Amino acid sequence: MEDSVPTQTPDAPAAARNLPMKIVIADRLPPSAAALLRAEDWAVVERAGRPADTLAADLADAEGLIVRSATKVTADVLEAAPRLRVVARAGTGVDNVDLDAASARGVLVLNAPGANSVSVAEHACALMLALARSVARADAQMKAGVWDKAGLRGAELRGKTLGVVGVGRIGRELIRRAAAFDMNVVAYDPFIAEQVAADLGVALVTLDDLCAQSDFISLHLPSTDATRGLVGREFLVRCRRGVRILNTARGDLVDEAALIEALEAGQVGGAGLDVFQGEPTPDRALTGLPQVIATPHIAASTAEAQELVGVDAATSVREFLRSGIVRNAVNYPSAAPEEVKRLQPYVRLAERLGGILGQLARGRPHTVGLRYYGALADGSTEMLAGASLVGLFRHVLSSEATLVNARTVAAQRGLEVIESRSSRPRNFTGLLSLKLHTSAGELWAEGAVFEPDSPRLMRLDDVEVEVPLEGTLIVIRNDDRPGVIGEIGTILGRHGINIAAFALGRGAAGAVGVVRVESHLAQAQEVAIGAAVIEEIQRVPAVSSAAVVRL
């Protein structure tokens, strides 16, 4: 997590200079968004599609900037805006905003999450209906003068099973709409509590069970290391024959070559796709198949959604500049600058401890417990709690969880956060203990910060084991017996994996080993440390579990 400080400006704000506040709208927004800001008697400059030099000139005395996806808010753009206090993205993703540069300059970055959820969910329904009734093929035949009722027999959605992969805002909206079609719905989301699913009336299942049960599978996941290429050959072969795949989320969730093979073999009966690995799509190998209904990334492109995201972004800017109220922040920690500086090493520690537990967890999490020792027990701990949740969620939610919204994301997913403080000395200036309670049991990690600014793992479960929290780690649990280290070292050597450090700790329940790959080789070796390596380690008789953790 990059350093981030509360919003500050080099110059006095417009109100202090007795000038109207100036807001620049760089991309096309609905008139209602600008009207909302003009109602404050602020100067609003609207000019979509302007070149970079014109934008820089407009921003020279601006305090707010609102963009959609076309305008790139680069470090140079921010450099040209010395009085800028806030950037708002009318939409969810902020890939077009240089967050590091904005944070370094103290510029608050906001987005408008969730405003297009209904539009995307409805588009998924449209694709599902079109696939079930061969709407696109029927329309093409009619336009060609062909009347072929017999060849266009469809299927009802009633009684079919819909598998929803990812139960975020959009996934939930789709689940509600599927109920109106009398569909059975099963869902996979490892970071949703059972009670949240029960409130939605759906069963939470494993990904394998979802594949085996579903007639339709709809994807609603972010693009992360864990989700890219999720729908590949192994996924598709586990599906019920004739399954129909829907993707209105991210193009790189689907291995398009594998999907083409499965469509041509009849394993997949159809696909409704709004997003693709390359956009615009470079060829028609996939979109040209008769079993595929393709749309050009328009799921969120409705008049209502665009109205909502525009007004949402403008409202957030107005609330911040007028009253200092922060809504939908992406890069804003709730602490004074000096507190941020003091806590920053521990923020990294908290995030990495959360990352370890998030990657090691096998059950469904329902509670996160944080305990602060020593100096950490004094003062605000909000940043530490948020950072631990960011680390926990990172591998499933990507950038959706930030220091600001992490607690909200946890609450939405039914994850309870419990904090406690202890003045008991633990031989460290500050020690952080993080415990994750899941349906499969508990995971427990403790860490401290060593000089110079080095976060370290000090305990995993009930075993003391010290290792720097960086790079690629292999975490192994095994019986405490001779020869285990040698066997593991031999396996890694056979696969060409160099060991930077091998930390071993012993406890009453056994031993924990943590292998750290050499840092300069970690990136190349991430591919090498795959399922085959882990499976071979797990075949060592004394080893009970092994997993890769990337920090």
SS3 per-residue string spanning 215-246? CEEEECCCCCCCCCCCECHHHHHCCCCCEEEE
Could you tell me the pTM of the whole model? Answer: 0.77
Contact (CB, 8 A) for 404 and 332: yes
Neighbours of 125 (CB within 10 A): 22
Neighbours of 358 (CB within 10 A): 25
What are all long-range contacts of 526-531, with beta carbons under 8 Å and residues at least 24 apart?
Answer: 526/472, 526/550, 528/495, 528/496, 528/497, 529/472, 529/474, 529/495, 529/497
Beta strands in 157-308 (DSSP E): 161-165, 184-188, 203-204, 216-219, 243-247, 268-273, 292-294
Q: In which residue are the tokens 């028609």 written?
A: 284
Q: Which residues contact 26 (CB under 8 A, 6 or more apart)?
A: 47, 48, 50, 55, 65, 66, 67, 70, 71
Cis peptide before 452 (omega within 30 of 0): yes
The residue type found at 267 is Q
Neighbours of 530 (CB within 10 A): 11
Question: For position 380, what pLDDT does the model report?
Answer: 78
pLDDT in tens, 119-169: 999 999 999 999 999 999 999 999 999 999 988 999 999 999 999 999 988
* Bridge partner residues of 117 (DSSP): none
Instruction: Report which of 450, 465, 452, 453 is spatially closest to residue 511, judged by C-alpha positions.
Output: 465
The token pair that represents 191 in the structure block: 């970071």
Given a cut of 70, the residues of the chain with pLDDT beneath it are 1-18, 333-340, 396-400, 403-404, 425, 518-528
Element (H, E) at 323: helix 303-323
Contact (CB, 8 A) for 141 and 197: no
* Bridge partner residues of 473 (DSSP): 516, 549
The token pair that represents 93 in the structure block: 């993703």
Distance CA 16, CA 382 (A): 31
Distance CA 328, CA 316 (A): 7
- Catalytic residue annotation: 250, 279, 297
Contact (CB, 8 A) for 465 and 457: yes
* Region of residue 231 (left: phi > 0; alpha: psi -120 to 50; beta: else): beta
Question: For position 330, what pLDDT does the model report?
Answer: 85
Question: For position 482, what pLDDT does the model report?
Answer: 84
Question: For position 452, what pLDDT does the model report?
Answer: 72
pLDDT in tens, 505-521: 888 778 899 988 764 44
DSSP string, 113-159: TTTTHHHHHHHHHHHHHHHHHTHHHHHHHHHTT---SGGG----STT
Structural domains present in the chain: 22-114+304-323 (3.40.50.720), 117-294 (3.40.50.720), 334-460 (3.30.1330.90), 472-551 (3.30.70.260)
Instruction: Report which of 312, 297, 377 is spatially closest to residue 92, judged by C-alpha positions.
Output: 312
**Edge-to-edge strand ranges of the sheet holding 161-165:** 203-204, 184-188, 161-165, 216-219, 243-247, 268-273, 292-294
End-to-end CA distance of the chain: 11
Neighbours of 205 (CB within 10 A): 17
Question: For position 2, what pLDDT does the model report?
Answer: 34
Q: What is the DSSP letter of 392?
A: H
Cis peptide before 365 (omega within 30 of 0): no
Distance CA 94, CA 315 (A): 17
